[in-house]
Amino acid sequence: MNIPEIIRQMTLEEKAGLCSGADFWHTKAIERLGVPQIMVSDGPHGLRKQDLEGDHLGVNDSIQAVCFPAGCATAASFDRQLVEKMGQALGEECQAENVAVLLGPAVNIKRSPLCGRNFEYYSEDPYVAGQTAASFIKGVQSKNVGVSIKHFYANNQEHRRMSSSSVMDERTKREIYLAAFEQAIQEAKPWTVMCSYNRINGVYAAQDKTALTEFLRDECQFDGFVMSDWGAVDDRAADLAAGMDLEMPSSEGVRDREIVRAVQEGRLPEAAVDLAVERILTIVDRYWQNQNPHANFDRDADHELSREIASQCMVLLKNEDHVLPLSKEKKTAFIGAFAEAPRFQGGGSSHIHCHKVESALEMAKDYPVIYAKGYDVSDHTVQQDLYEEAIRAAKSAETAVIFAGLPDALESEGYDRTHMRLPDCQNALISAVAKANPNTVVVLHNGSPVEMPWIDEVKGVLETYLCGQAVGGATVQVLYGDVNPSGHLAETFPRKLEDNPSYLFYPGEGDQTVYAEGVFVGYRYYATKKMPVLFPFGHGLSYTTFQISDLKTDKAAYADGETVRVTVHVTNTGDRAGKQVVQLYVLPQTKTDAVLRPVLELRGYEKVSLMPGETKTVSFELNRRAFAYYHTALQEWTVLDGDYAIAAGGSSAELETQQVIHIAGRKSLLTDITLNTTVGDILALKGAREILRPLMESYGRTMGDSASDSLGESTASMMEAQMKYMPLRGMISFGDGKITTDSCLAMVEELKKLL
């Protein structure tokens, strides 16, 4: 398409019309100008294409498709190549079904375990979320199908999601809630971005020009179009002015007329409408120029791929006395309704109409397995007959495997959970079975952390998350050792809900939720507070063992902005092949009261496949951002001068090797100096001590006269400590009268030159 010429020929009404959907899933066509429509469809872990009745809560049927593992599971793989492979399959499916844009990935931060949509999100950590999203985007868009990275941004709860305001400071935004989007957009260049329902500091996401234009387009160089979440529009003219281009779904012309009226009344420049139209047409043209009429949606092949991916995502949380893998010759009791009918996806807009689903019970039919239902998914009370049947089965088997988890009704888009517990009947069943059989393993089906009051009673726990329609086969492969588990937690499992850093502030008061925990989200909080957790971020066991050792950097000291090159060795010290996730963390060593920082932050990871006895060297490159924090007064990323430990290990709580480096960064965080600036802050500036010497000597003469000479050096030390937190004006009050306010102001002017 000759887009500038098409825009020149369009009427204002046609331009306004193109800025909203034709229906629930399509953009508008303009036949007289040869502009075709495109279709968008829900994702992100499957194709939920709806041709007839559209909805955004998964109520109406869609085409039969393949449900891949949800975001909670794929992030746990810590495997960029695997996620990209999944994206490629979804891109091929979209091409085969004439879908131009897949609505995903969903990268919102897991602020609280209660968020009803956590199953769709990747991590509590922005680096993991951003890297996983980038891999997914690259995979999908390699098939010339676009994605819509969502929900931009600070959409961290379902409670009042269409009206609530996420209240946070600029540093929290930058370091946590924008960072995942920033990485993915800069690395993978998604075709579109979907803005969220909520407000941020009182401004609806669709009207936030600072985010949609200044951050997305100017800083991140995003060049696609921004669409609304379905029904997220409040003021259409304000949206367009801010940079929100396409409203979805159709407003049946209502808001098209609002756009026309705003332009005619001079409240909205027509150039803003033209720009939105240009962005939309660019993506429409990109899809149709690369549409593949030969693409094939092979559901059975993708089902097999879904199983392969699922097997790499599952996290072995506990394996006492090597209770796993199971013996293929000895009798095992499969207990729990999810063994026969697994829960493998969440509810809402990502709900896939699967062409087939396999259960663990079905896939273990060739092994000596007996089955007891144990509980009713729809009834959370203990049913005595099912309970007793499960106990009998457990007693008759070598090992009892309980398939537990959260029923559909407890985890869905549209509302939040109210607690972290499994249904009472399941907790009671687990304890009873563990008492009946000492070799008890729990297999969990859930999209977010759950409390485990029985954790010390069972020998094994396998977290399958919501692992897609092939979860049954993948679970059996892992349980029986055909696949060595290699997933790691992309979120912390706290011991109880009250331990979560957002507990006191989530979900907020009325239409406002204050992010009072700031940057201390997830493991950043638990590690800094030294709080015991159930399972730490990054945790994941294997049927083999690994050693991570000999971390080295290319030198010991760096200038601000230099790349830090790191190598680390990882060895398979066990007796079977396996994969280890080498995690790299940065730990600031120089403490300052000028800025509060987490004690450690993930800055790199690699998944490594190793044969028994094999050692590999893993390399990382850390750029400036790996050591920086966002300085709100300067409005820039800042590296403080000081020492930083770089550590590697198998989880955030198991750092096995480290090296300390020095970075010559910013010594002072001052942006201005006044008479109210403290002496200690000023002395951090190079050359400041010489300027302040007359003032300090005046103070010292007065204080020295009143101090005991016997104190000697301790007197000087005491005076230095007293001065540290004293404002300059206070020094005048305690001086010997030789320093005046005017002479002190002259010092201030000299000091400002050091900034």
Contact in structure between 546 and 651 (CB atoms under 8 Å) = no
Task: Give phi and psi for 284, each to the nearest 5.
Answer: -55, -45
* Residue entry with tokens 């969990």: 444
H/E element holding 702? helix 688-705
Q: Return phi, psi of residue 480, to 5°.
A: -95, 5
How many Å separate Cα 227 from the centre of its chain?
21
Cβ atoms of residues 285 and 3 within 8 Å: yes
Under 8 Å between Cβ of 755 and 684: no
Does the N-terminal peptide bond of residue 419 adopt cis geometry, omega within 30 degrees of 0? Answer: no
Backbone φ and ψ of 728, nearest 5°: -55, -40
Place of tokens 């060595």: 484
Token duo for residue 147: 């994605």
Place of tokens 């290699």: 486
User: Which residue bears the tokens 């396409």?
Assistant: 246
Which residues in 131-283 belong to E strands, given as ranges? Answer: 146-152, 165-167, 192-195, 199-200, 203-204, 225-228
The neighbour count for residue 689, using CB atoms within 10 Å, is 12
End-to-end Cα separation, the chain, in angstroms: 53
CA pair distance 398, 327, nearest whole angstrom:
9
Catalytic residue among 42, 79, 125, 229: 229
* Token pair for 619: 């390399």
| Active-site residue, 229 included | yes
Nearest to 154 by CA among 207, 102, 195: 195
What is the C-alpha to C-alpha distance for residues 291 and 285, in angstroms, rounded to an integer? 10
Which are the catalytic amino acids? 229
